[in-house]
A = this chain, B = another copy of it.
Amino acid sequence: MAQDTRPMDTRPHDTGTLTARRLKWHAQDEAIILMRTDCPVCRSEGLTSRTRVLVSCGDKQVVASLHQTEDDWLSLSEAGLSEAAWTRLGAEPGAALEVTHAPTLPSLSDVRRRMTGKRLSRDAFDRIISDIAEGSYSDVHLAAFVSACSTLKLDIDEMTSLTGAMVKVGEQLAWDQEMIVDKHCVGGLPGNRTTPIVVAILSSLGLTIPKTSSRAITSPAGTADTMETLTRVDLSLADIRRVVAAEGGCLAWGGAVQLSPADDILIRIERALDIDAEGQLIASVLSKKIAAGATHVVLDLPVGPTAKLRGTPEARALAQHMTIVAGGFGVKTKCVFSDGLQPVGRGIGPALEAWDVLRVLQGSKSAPPDLRQRAISLAGTALELAGHAKNDTGVAIAQEALASGSAWAKFQAICAAQGGLREPPRAAQTAPLTATHSGKVKIIDNRKLSRLAKLAGAPERPAAGLTLHKRLGDEVASGEPLVTIHAEAAGEIAYAMDYATANSDIFTIEA
């Protein structure tokens, strides 16, 4: 036999430290550390690419995914950090980092257990969500958990456990008032921007509604995106308290408050998978409402073939489960099923929806009647749920608050308290999308219309989006504009136009 002539490794065991290098490396909220394959730490610890490692910097620690390089652009004594890792470690350039194998996460056994089709206990959800909130799960772990909770639907006990676990790991708001109202829309309908109007109406009538909203997940605008074109929304907890103490309501971005940090992490994965399973949806919505201290919650459930809820049975089941789980936390809910066949209002996109909201609040003749009506209906339901109106009188009271201008005055006061009301931006470029033939509008594909608005730049570019000129049942002549595309660059108009050309069924027009 030939002798094996490969050299043997006789380097001493050296745990050494590395110096932190900020690569300004954006990989969403995933903590990643980049090290030289041949650095002393990788060699002595036996670390290979994609190992989960524990990175320590002073008294802070983060579990990160290890990437490696063999190239000199990173030195042997450096470790590059993704922004998520950099921020969580509170690192400074050149700070000393220690890197070791990450400890085993016992909660992954719980995830594996559910991946064999078994149901999980409250303790198991607590363990999992706590590790997720700490940032200790890799994308692979997160996706496996999300998928396991979707493939075998969460039952009511599990939904309750997941909701409670999410609340525990976040900030919680406590209020002096006994009754705290909230509202939420189970998305999927472009332009359905009722929240600012509902908050203005309810707080003008003396209810307390400390509203926190998300930015868009898969849609062209979230309420936080729209409100940001009108005022400041990244309020601290102290800001929220101050605005609500003064005005009874606020319209803040929830992400700055960390009401449900685990949910914020899971949402990124759900977005990548483009799924929103019932149990996770319920836990996501309710964890934020409970953490915000809500006692009475009105839920808007738009139902339609191209809305998130495609059919009534699905919507009724969601409403029933939402009500039971909320009840377990002492929260009263009322679900309002609404028409999800077509967009609401005229604008789709942050600023364009803000203009619609302003028109409704100002009582303008050009205000979209459907947006106005939906907001009134939700506000009326909230008034009745909260006992501020007798049954069947809520709508009239809400209507009066709008008609009298008191809701508009309240809205201005809230925006002033948040940092000042400003005018939403207008896009540099517009172009009409016209009908290719005459007839009546039979179907509008909400999903494709949303995609069109996003291709025009929404929500990243606040002024971008669409103005809708035709609604279901409207007569349209060949060559007449169906929507106006708003964008900040000609290229984005072109993208949107290309998509519209390739998708002739955004509007179905029949003779």
Q: Point out residues on A near B: beta carbons under 8 Å.
A: 1-4, 6, 8-15, 22-28, 34, 37, 44, 46, 48-50, 67-71, 73, 82, 108, 111-112, 114-117, 138-148, 150-153, 229, 268-269, 272-275, 277, 420-425, 428, 457, 460-461, 463, 488-492, 494
Contacts and interface: CB of A to CB of B under 8 A. Distances in A.
A444 to B, nearest CB: 21
Given A1-B421, A151-B152, A37 B46 contact: no
A273 B141 contact: yes
Contact of A27 (B12, B49, B145, B428): B49
Given A23-B71, A139-B143, 10 more contacts: A2-B420, A4-B229, A4-B423, A8-B463, A10-B488, A13-B491, A26-B69, A27-B67, A46-B457, A141-B273
How many copies, total?
Answer: 2
A150 B115 contact: yes
B494 A144 contact: no
A46 B492 contact: yes
A430 to B, nearest CB: 13
Contact of A23 (B50, B73, B150, B460): B73
A365 to B, nearest CB: 20
17 contacts: A3-B422, A9-B428, A10-B488, A12-B489, A13-B492, A25-B68, A25-B71, A27-B50, A46-B460, A115-B151, A115-B275, A115-B277, A116-B151, A140-B273, A142-B143, A144-B144, A144-B273
Contacts of A49: 26-28
A490 B13 contact: yes
Given A24-B70, A115-B275, A3 B423 contact: yes
B153 A117 contact: yes
B138 A272 contact: yes
A275 B112 contact: yes
Contacts of A26: 37, 49, 67-70
A35 to B, nearest CB: 10
Nearest to A144: B147
A489 B423 CA distance: 67
A423 B5 CA distance: 10
A196 B143 CA distance: 39
Contact of A69 (B23, B28, B73): B23
Nearest to A49: B26
B150 A116 contact: yes
A44 B491 contact: yes
Contacts of A488: 8-10
Nearest to A11: B489
A112 B421 contact: no
Contacts of A37: 26
A140 to B, nearest CB: 4
A489 B71 contact: no
B423 A1 contact: yes
Contact of A151 (B46, B70, B148): B148
A172 B117 CA distance: 35
A464 to B, nearest CB: 9
A151 B115 CA distance: 4
Contacts of A489: 9-13, 44
Contacts of A490: 12-13
B73 A73 contact: yes
